[in-house]
Amino acid sequence: MWRTAGEDVNFLIDYVVDGEFVIPSSAEATVRDNAGVPIAELTAVSLVVDTTSATLTIPAAQNTVAAGNTFETRFVVTSFVYEGETYTRVHSYRLHPFVPLTTTPGDVRRELGLDSSELPDRDIDILSAYLTLRADYGTQIEDALTSGDQRSLAINKAVAVKAALALVDGLPFRAAIKMKAEDSSVERMSEFDVSEIRIRLGQQLGRALDVIRGITTGGAATIVLSNPTDAITGA
């Protein structure tokens, strides 16, 4: 889970025991920083227990990323008591400065031909895809984001494809073979070539990166002009 650095984070905490939502008799939370050290202002914070969930607000001041770090993690450790037993859960979220990407989970789904029931937003990691590209190709990736030209379109395409590539191996388990609604139905082919999909996505990524890096490749000839030999004179 990614959140924007320097902003308040409202963190939803569910009280769940063996898959069932419960109402505890008491609950508290402690937030730990990137090194796992408890944050003094957010240690043993009492949580409401009048329902099956609570919201903990982590102030913007505790959600900054130190100079030199690409991103940071915060750990939310919750402890609640239900029917005399204590249950402890550790959740986390990552912080990164705002990135002006227009890529959406829908863009990633379109690359794979899936819908939101097969590939929900929570399973798509757009920012990780961007950070991986930036680590591999450096400042050209950052510059493309705000270029205001084809490079800006290309970086958003590249991020969508990179995020899709990270999910390719799971396609056989995600893609529904048959889907039915009240007045329509869709049936996919029962087998598809994951390797072929990976190659296709890799080619798309390569073309987008060429645009970002300003690499021009020659296309295949579609019309060839020549002086044909006369069949009678041989000239």
> 119 with 186, same domain?
yes
> 139 with 182, same domain?
yes
- 138 has pLDDT over 80: yes
Residue 219 domain-assigned? no
> 151 with 88, same domain?
no
| pLDDT value of position 231 | 46
| 192 neighbors 175 (Cβ within 8 angstroms) | yes
Closest to 20 (Cα-Cα) out of 69, 53, 66: 53
| 100 neighbors 145 (Cβ within 8 angstroms) | yes
pLDDT (average), residues 211-233: 60
Domain endpoint, select from 69, 96, 123: 96
> 125 with 86, same domain?
no
| pLDDT value of position 216 | 77
Mean pLDDT of the chain: 89
Residue 208 domain-assigned? yes
Residue 229 domain-assigned? no
> 109 with 200, same domain?
yes
CA-to-CA distance for 16 and 53, rounded, in angstroms?
Answer: 9
> 138 with 194, same domain?
yes
Phi, psi of 174 (to 5 degrees): -100, -40
Our count of domains for the chain comes to: 2
Residue 44 domain-assigned? yes
| Axis-axis angle for helices 105-112, 150-165 (nearest 10) | 70
- 184 has pLDDT over 80: no
| 71 neighbors 96 (Cβ within 8 angstroms) | yes
> 86 with 179, same domain?
no
Residue 198 domain-assigned? yes
Highest-pLDDT range among 57-66, 173-182, 207-216: 57-66
> 124 with 59, same domain?
no
| pLDDT value of position 186 | 56
| 71 neighbors 134 (Cβ within 8 angstroms) | no
- 179 has pLDDT over 60: no
Please compute, for residue 157, the number of CA atoms within 13 A of its CA located in the half-sphere on the CB side: 17
Residue 11: domain span = 2-96
- 227 has pLDDT over 90: no
- Give the tens place of pLDDT for each residue, 72-110: 999 999 999 999 999 999 999 999 999 999 999 999 999
CA-to-CA distance for 173 and 112, rounded, in angstroms?
Answer: 13
Residue 234 domain-assigned? no
pLDDT (average), residues 50-75: 96
CA-to-CA distance for 59 and 65, rounded, in angstroms?
Answer: 13
pLDDT (average), residues 169-178: 76
- Which H or E element spans position 10? strand 9-14
Q: In 10 A of CB 96, how many CB atoms?
A: 18
> 195 with 119, same domain?
yes
CA-to-CA distance for 139 and 146, rounded, in angstroms?
Answer: 12
> 189 with 208, same domain?
yes
Closest to 24 (Cα-Cα) out of 83, 67, 77: 83
Helices (H), 138-182: 139-145, 150-165, 171-174
Residue 128 domain-assigned? yes
Beta strands, E only, 147-235: 178-180, 185-187
Residue 26 domain-assigned? yes
